[in-house]
């Protein structure tokens, strides 16, 4: 025997949250909707946090948003690393130029003829 997961419509969830906001207890709403009170609290939190975007589908929308945010952060980190490495390279090139200018007057090789 396999248990299937129940799916609730956006309207159903919003109606349950509305009942909660009108003063019914979470336990009463949960009994009426035949769900666990924790589910009612989660629906309430999602509606409060995401407003009109709450309950927008089967959960893939936020996963895609999270992935997009993760990729944007990664691009930002890589851009910072590139900038840092460019500055390091400029510093090394400046040091080489300075060293070349200071060593032009004096010879770096010594003659070892006997």
pTM of the model: 0.48
Q: CA-based angle 34:35:39, to the nearest 5?
A: 155
Number of neighbouring beta carbons within 10 Å of residue 55: 20
Residue pair 40/27 in contact by the 8 Å Cβ criterion: no
Question: How confident is the model at residue 77, as a pLDDT?
Answer: 96
Q: What is the DSSP letter of 28?
A: H
Domain boundaries, given as residue ranges, for the chain? 8-56
Question: Scanning the structure block, which residue is given the tokens 């009994």?
Answer: 31
Number of neighbouring beta carbons within 10 Å of residue 67: 10
Residue pair 33/40 in contact by the 8 Å Cβ criterion: yes
Question: How confident is the model at residue 61, as a pLDDT?
Answer: 60
- Nearest residue to 14 via CA among 35, 32, 40, 49: 40
Q: What is the pLDDT along the chain (114 residues), one digit of tens a residue?
A: 566 778 888 889 999 999 999 999 999 999 999 999 999 999 999 888 888 778 876 655 667 778 888 999 999 999 999 999 999 999 999 999 999 998 876 555 665 665
Question: How confident is the model at residue 59, as a pLDDT?
Answer: 55
């Amino acid at each position: 025997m396999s248990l299937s997961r129940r799916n609730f419509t956006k309207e159903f969830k919003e109606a349950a949250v509305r009942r909660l906001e009108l003063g019914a207890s979470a336990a009463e709403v949960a009994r009426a909707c035949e769900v666990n009170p924790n589910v009612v609290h989660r629906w309430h939190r999602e509606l409060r946090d995401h407003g009109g975007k709450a309950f927008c589908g089967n959960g893939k929308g936020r996963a895609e948003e999270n992935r997009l945010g993760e990729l944007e952060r990664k691009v930002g980190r890589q851009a910072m690393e590139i900038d840092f490495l460019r500055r390091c390279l400029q510093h090394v090139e400046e040091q080489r130029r300075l060293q070349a200018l200071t060593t032009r007057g004096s010879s770096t090789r010594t003659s070892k003829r006997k």
